[in-house]
Amino acid sequence: MNSRKIAISLPDSLLARVEESRRTTAESRSAFFRLAAEGLLRERALADRVAEYVDGYTRQPEGPGEIAAADAASAEVFEPEDWT
């Protein structure tokens, strides 16, 4: 994996929290910020996929036949369960 060094600026209070957090896990600063960046990118990608799903569903919601089929399928799945 190719890596590059970068310089970033953080408020002192945020850097102190980062340092405290990474010390408890014994991670390097690089590892901490790599994991943070990967996590943020995953969250944004998920938010984009959810927005795309909602947009598609809004433009073309399920019809009565699809709702009936989903109801029937769920009834078959949950029928064996004792809900008492």
In 3D space, the residue among 11, 17, 16, 18 whose CA is nearest the CA of residue 33 turns out to be: 18
Give the pTM: 0.67
Cα separation, 45 vs 84, whole angstroms: 41
For position 74, what pLDDT does the model report? Answer: 87
> Consecutive 10-residue runs of the chain (84 residues): their mean pLDDT?
93 97 95 97 98 95 92 82 69
